């Protein structure tokens, strides 16, 4: 028996070593705890977001070899913590961040109110709602105006109600924000996401594509933030396992939907006027994130949340000009037309 025990310990050590090499930093919950609870969905989701973070960071670093990700681990005194990986001032990327957070504790009244307003009938015990939330989130702002900005986020949420029952749901999405329209890139991006969705249900891509167009809408401007992708929230059916597998497919599609576009355009030449248009479009990006984005709002309402990680999505530079209107029939006007009237890119 002792030989078996030694062999098992050796296997455990080997697995732990492999996991360490796969990630950007040790997981928030700790490798031993994750392995102990490896069959639980919470643990599998944490492993998935850790793997996604590492995959994306390595793919981006390979595109911008002169730059490196700063890896910053942090703890939240109310429970949990996270890993922020940020690259700044590279040759290809002006700012690229890939964050993982795994937090738990009691939901604040404001955050609970926000959830109830979305139709969640949450029954608190003595005004308290224990919760667990985890996710991977990324925003990539390239230097070249011909390389689009990209955002993705995949998350899992669990709440324990007064009677001990647990409510759970997944959310997430991947979307593209180009400064200039390139139809070939738009088709590639949407087709890659559609393939990930189609593995699970042919109804998902059209449903989540429309949800994305409706969600990333800057109401006060009457335009979308970008050319969309997929977006979903509060998904809790058909089953926990099926939704997890769907989220996994979407997370695995991030690198193939975006990296080929960066490779194609990172060395494109551009003019000072094109750079200025990129800065103005980034201003719109900031407006959406600070005024409408649900994840930003939730983060700012969660006690002990890390503001630097929440606002990592904002670009290093942006611009707001008074009453700027691009000339008719210009390339700048072309992208605005698509932002005001979303297109079907895959049919």
Contacts of 341 (CB under 8 A, 6+ apart): none
Are 248 and 48 in contact by the 8 Å Cβ rule? The answer is yes
Residue 70 vs residues 57, 62, 95: alpha-carbon distances, Å: 10, 15, 11
Q: Tokens in use for 313? A: 């999505």
Q: Tokens in use for 189? A: 């991006």
Whole-angstrom Cα distance, residue 297 to residue 294?
A: 5
Task: Tell me if residue 151 is catalytic.
Answer: yes
Give the N- to C-terminal CA distance of the chain in Å, as an integer.
62
Given 141, 146, 151, 200, which residue is catalytic?
151
Backbone angles phi, psi at 94, to 5 degrees: -75, -40
Q: Give SS3 for 78.
A: coil
Whole-angstrom Cα distance, residue 335 to residue 274?
A: 13
Q: Tokens in use for 42? A: 């919470």
Active site residues: 151
């Amino acid at each position: 028996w002792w030989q078996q025990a030694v062999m098992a310990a050796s296997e455990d050590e080997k697995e732990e070593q492999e996991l360490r090499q796969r990630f950007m930093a040790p997981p928030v919950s700790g490798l031993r705890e994750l392995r102990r609870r490896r069959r639980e969905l919470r643990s599998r989701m944490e492993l998935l977001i850790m793997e996604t973070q590492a995959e994306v960071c390595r793919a981006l670093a390979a595109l911008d070899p002169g730059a490196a990700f700063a890896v910053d681990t942090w703890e939240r005194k109310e429970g949990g913590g996270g890993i922020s990986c940020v690259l700044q001032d590279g040759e290809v990327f002006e700012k690229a961040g890939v964050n993982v957070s795994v937090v738990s504790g009691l939901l604040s009244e404001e955050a609970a109110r926000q959830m109830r307003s979305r139709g969640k009938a949450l029954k608190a015990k003595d005004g308290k709602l224990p919760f667990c939330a985890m996710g991977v989130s990324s925003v990539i702002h390239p230097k070249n105006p011909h390389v689009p900005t990209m955002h993705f986020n995949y998350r899992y949420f669990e709440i324990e109600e007064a009677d001990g029952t647990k409510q759970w749901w997944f959310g997430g999405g991947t979307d593209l924000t180009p400064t200039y329209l390139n139809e070939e890139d738009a088709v590639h991006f949407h087709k890659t996401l559609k393939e990930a969705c189609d593995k699970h249900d042919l109804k998902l891509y059209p449903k989540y594509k429309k949800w994305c167009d409706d969600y990333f809408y800057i109401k006060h401007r009457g335009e979308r933030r970008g050319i969309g992708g997929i977006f979903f929230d509060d998904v809790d059916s058909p089953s926990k396992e099926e939704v997890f597998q769907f989220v996994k497919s979407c997370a695995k599609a991030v690198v193939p939907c975006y990296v080929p576009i960066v490779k194609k355009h990172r060395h494109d030449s551009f003019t000072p006027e094109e750079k200025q248009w990129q800065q103005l479009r980034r201003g719109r990006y900031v407006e959406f994130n600070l005024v409408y984005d649900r994840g930003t709002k939730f983060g700012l309402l969660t006690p002990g949340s890390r503001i630097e990680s929440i606002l990592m999505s904002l670009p290093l530079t942006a611009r707001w000009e008074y009453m700027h209107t691009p000339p008719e029939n210009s390339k700048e006007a072309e992208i605005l037309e698509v932002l005001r009237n979303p297109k079907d890119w895959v049919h």
